[in-house]
Amino acid sequence: MSQVPIIDVLTTVFIGLVTATIVALVRRYRASVLSAIGNGLARLPKVMTRSAPSALTLPGEQRDLVTVEKRLEYLRGLKRPRYLILGGIYLDIQVTPVSATTFDGSEHDDLDRVELSCGGSARYVGMYLNQIYGVRSELYTRLGKDDRLSRELRKLLKKERWIRRRRFQDDDTLQSGVSIQLFHRQDPHHTTLTYKGALSALAWNHRSLRQLKNSAAGGGIMHISGYFRTGLHAGLSRSLRELSAGLLVCVDHGSFVPRDHDNASAALLQAFADKLVDVYICTQAELHTLMLMAKLNHDPTLPLERQLEAYASGSVLPRITIVQPEPAGGLARAHIILDDEVTAVDVAIAPGAWQYIPGRSNAFNASLMHALVHNQERAFLRETLTIAVAEALGAWANLG
């Protein structure tokens, strides 16, 4: 009879004891174990847990070869598409009310309050996505590190419930962006003084934006804001081309002074031409300014629709441009430019209901993004956009 080595006997006994212990623990703590497994599955990357939308395999394809229709079809098949927000976050210093119209060295002591809060278009898009739809987003931005104002902004950002994941580029040389908002006593408008600070160095080649690329691998929607106050123009087309084909890219660059941003304008227009931006969101004034940089004439005597038609035929815009609404006479109208054609979408505003709210235009952006991804109606792209813009107009007009 052959002898069994003592080491094999000890190994068998040890495995038996471990197995018996695991079985006993599972029986005793069965509910807790099942709960832990469920939580673990919930944390798996979305690419592993999504339902297959169709035979589409967009994440591995080349971005500029995939149509918007295919991208939207793919995104609507995801259980929880990721929302990625890239751009400007500021420490807002809000001063209310300001009655002085000229500043001549004298002192005024009639301010009602001075408040510190998080601001910037990136913050407001994320906040409204969460406030209206319960969606949490990933934030990618650049902040100062050691100065007092930067520390205050970081402290406030920890309280922002809409942020699912924070990816901050740290800047040891510049303060975080600061926005000083002067709310006038009689005028419904306000004056904003902005220091872009660390945002000017927000760059694609930083590790945090390589993390964005990984996070977006399974598909989602990305909103780029404050573009002209960042360094994102450097390598813009190359970087967008490297992102997943399942990522819908929206750009709202905000207002800018043309003479200060030749290179950034050229890079953005090139990204449009390269079919790397899916949705361009802008105000009328912002569109006029960018088209000036594209050498397209702006005739202010023409009705707005005629001006938009001229821009649409100029072959410089991305396939989808959405012109944000402006209140006028109890009506708000947004415009869709798609495939060189212009469509107007209206919403009524109750008399006296509309009022200025900081970041209000970003409620429109947030709702538009959500509607594009979650609208399950199988319609032609123009109908899809009309439905989404109508929903966004409703969110914008009824904000209060």
* CATH assignment of the domain containing 257: 3.40.1190.20
Asked whether residue 152 is assigned to any structural domain, the reply reads yes
Asked whether residue 83 is assigned to any structural domain, the reply reads yes
Asked whether residue 181 is assigned to any structural domain, the reply reads no
3-state helix/strand/coil string of 289-313: HHHHHCCCCCCCCCCHHHHHHHHHC
Asked whether residue 102 is assigned to any structural domain, the reply reads no
Q: Provide block-wise average pLDDT over 10 residues at a time, the chain (400 residues).
A: 56 61 55 42 42 53 89 90 94 83 74 87 96 95 94 95 94 93 75 91 86 89 95 94 94 88 95 96 94 88 91 94 83 91 88 72 94 84 94 84
Strand residue runs (E) in the chain = 82-86, 90-98, 113-119, 137-144, 163-171, 177-184, 190-195, 220-225, 247-252, 279-282, 320-323, 327-328, 331-338, 341-348
Residue 19 pLDDT:
64
Residue 308 pLDDT:
94
| Residue 368 near residue 327, CB atoms below 8 Å | no
Number of structural domains, the chain? 1
Asked whether residue 39 is assigned to any structural domain, the reply reads no
Tokens at residue 294, please? 């594209």
What torsion do the CA atoms of 389, 392, 393, 399 make, to the nearest 10 degrees?
180
Residue 7 pLDDT:
59
Residue 13 pLDDT:
55
Asked whether residue 96 is assigned to any structural domain, the reply reads no
Asked whether residue 193 is assigned to any structural domain, the reply reads no
| Residue 224 near residue 251, CB atoms below 8 Å | yes
Tokens at residue 3, please? 């002898």
33: helix, strand or coil: helix
Q: What is the largest CA-CA distance in the chain?
A: 109
Q: Which bin fits 346, alpha (ψ -120 to 50), beta or left (φ > 0)?
A: beta
Q: Which domain holds residue 242?
A: 59-88+120-173+199-397
Residue 24 pLDDT:
60
Asked whether residue 12 is assigned to any structural domain, the reply reads no
Residue 1 pLDDT:
47
Residue 109 pLDDT:
76
